Each structure stands twice: as structure tokens, then as C-alpha cells.
Amino acid sequence: MKPSKRTARNVRKMTRSLADAASTTLKGGELVVASGRVIAERAALGVAAFIDPANADHAEFARMGPEKMTAFSAAAAVLQRRAGAFVGQMARFAGDEAMIALRVTGELALCRSPADLLALNNRVALAWLGRAFAQSVTLGALAVGASGAAMAPVHRAATGNARRLRR
């Protein structure tokens, strides 16, 4: 791939990753606020239940455990799927690097002078730096996307509870 195309692709990936990171950060803030509201409301319900157990909101108390299990199970499932993509991408990178190492070994055998060897060394080192940067951008994008996707079910549950309990 030409360097200009690779650079453009990396810039697009970085831009998407930054947008994903910003969205995840905002959702994280919403999750913190919603969780605080839910905890406060449920603590008040707990105090009320302690004072008058007969009139306690048993439905709300029964909802607490299952909703957490559902949200965190969904988050774990997302992370498991995304981990497979992450490992697959790393395996592709490792395979590509092995093929490049074989090709470079052949090119080393063709070097006839120290100048040829130095030129090959410089070309290989610069190419490796470019690939390492591109690979880190790709893996970073996968990680950022996974964190936002894993937070989504927990965010939905907490913000939904905050809205429902505010009524």
C-alpha cells in the first residue's frame, strides 16, 4: 500500500477512535450520574422499607439483582466477541510480519556490499516503524470500540433505572 493511502487510512481510524473515545467518555459521565441517582433512590427505598416493611417496594428490590446480571452478562458477551476480533487481528499482524521477515532474509542474501546492506537495513527499519504505528492505531481502535460497546448495556440499565425512579 502506498504511504499516502496508508496515512489517510490511519488518520480516518484515529478520527473514528477519537470520536468513539469522546462518546464513551460522555456515556461514562452519564453512567456515573445515573448510578448515583439510582443508588440514592434505592437507599431511600431501603430506609423506607426498614421503617415500614409492609409497604416496601418489593418489586424494586426484586429487580436489582437480575438487572445487574443481565447488564453485566451482556457487557461480558460484547467483550468476549471483541476479544476474538482483537486476537484475530494480532494473529494477522504476526503472520504478515513473519512473511516480511522471510522476504527480507532473501533480500539480505542478495546484498553485495555494505552499502546494499545499509540501504536494506534503513528501508526495512522505516517500513517496520510505519507498520508498527498502523498496527497500534488498529489495535487502539479495536480497544476503544470494545470499551464503549461493553459499557452500553450497563449504561442503558442505569439510565433507564434513573428515569424510572425519578417519576
Q: How far apart are CA 146 and CA 143, in angstroms?
A: 5
pLDDT value at position 118? Answer: 95
State the virtual CA torsion across 52, 55, 59, 60 in degrees, nearest 10: -50
Work out the average pLDDT over 121-148.
93
The pTM of this model reads 0.74
Decide if 150 contacts 24 (C-beta within 8 A): no
pLDDT value at position 16? Answer: 87
Q: How far apart are CA 87 and CA 66, in angstroms?
A: 31
Residues 95-121 pLDDT 10s: 999 999 999 999 999 999 999 999 999
Q: Is the pLDDT of residue 89 over 90?
A: yes
- Our measurement of the distance from residue 1's CA atom to the centroid of its chain's CA atoms, rounded to an integer in Å, reads 27
Q: How far apart are CA 158 and CA 140, in angstroms?
A: 27
- Residues in contact with 35: Cβ distance below 8 Å, sequence separation at least 6, in sequence order: 158, 162
Q: How far apart are CA 81 and CA 75, in angstroms?
A: 10
- Confidence band of 157 (pLDDT split at 50, 70, 90): very high
Residues 8-21 pLDDT 10s: 887 888 888 888 88
- What are the sequence ranges of the domains in the chain? 22-166
